[in-house]
Structure 1
Amino acid sequence: MSDTPDSAVRTYIDTHRAAFLEDLAAWLRIPSVSAQPEHDGDVRLSAEWLSAKLRETGFPVAEIWETPGAPAVFAEWPSADPDAPTVLVYGHHDVQPAAREDGWHTDPFEPVIRDGRMYGRGAADDKGQVFFHTLGVRAHLAATGRSAPRSTSSS
């Protein structure tokens, strides 16, 4: 494999794939069903989990914001370059209700891997996408040795 930044990121991801999937599975096990009041504590736990992972990744700001509904997570990594572009990633950490009788072949909050794919409530909507944006930043930092994400206006 070449030493290009893209190949270094891919190598990092391949090397850490099992740990990434373990982290995602841990998050998917949190039944953060915001539509069911009995899961309010789980929704908060999900917000705390995400905020901690964002800080672990290096985000200097990762906060839980109280709202009239479920807690929101806000994170930012301000650039020292005032001309750097702003990148906004939006997603949610709560999930819809799930029950075996809804067509799940396994417990929806106990992720399983079948045919190379992870199945669990939130794996595709939306915990998986949110988490993989975070992992992309983590892989970029590790592969480049940078302490902050690179913007197009910096080197």
Structure 2
Amino acid sequence: MYQMHCLRDRLGLSVLGLEMAEGVGGTWYWNRYPGARCDSESHSYSYYFSDELLKSWTWSERYPGYAEILRYLNFVADRYDLKRSFRFNTKVLSAHYDEQANRWEVCADNGDRYRAQFLISAVGNLSSANIPNIPGLERFKGHWYHTGQWQH
């Protein structure tokens, strides 16, 4: 989000973020299982580019839970009107560089195609569950859950 803010609001570039989720938050959007919290102090999640922003948010805990981190990220996104520069619920299927046009072509799961001079790949490697191969799991009769696939 900070990169979007800098490119759009400081440099005046046209910026579009394609986001698979319904909202901002990255790993904190996807990992909302009961008890999820960070193992870093809350101040490490704060954006330091604005004194006004720093003064306008107070963390309630030293090691906050996912809900507070997500509230903070939405607070920042709303404060800088960043959500208008995202296309939520949009999964990137492919991106390739067209050397003749000197542009990137990005294809999304909804059929939309985007062309851009620059592409920043922020793949969100924590948005897909890594399910281990556990012998015998298919015979287990009960319910099992992976935190990365928690039903929000």
Q: TM-score range by the shorter chain?
A: under 0.3
Q: Could you tell me the TM-score, scaled by structure 1's length?
A: 0.25
Q: Could you tell me the TM-score, scaled by structure 2's length?
A: 0.26
Structure number, greater radius of gyration = 2
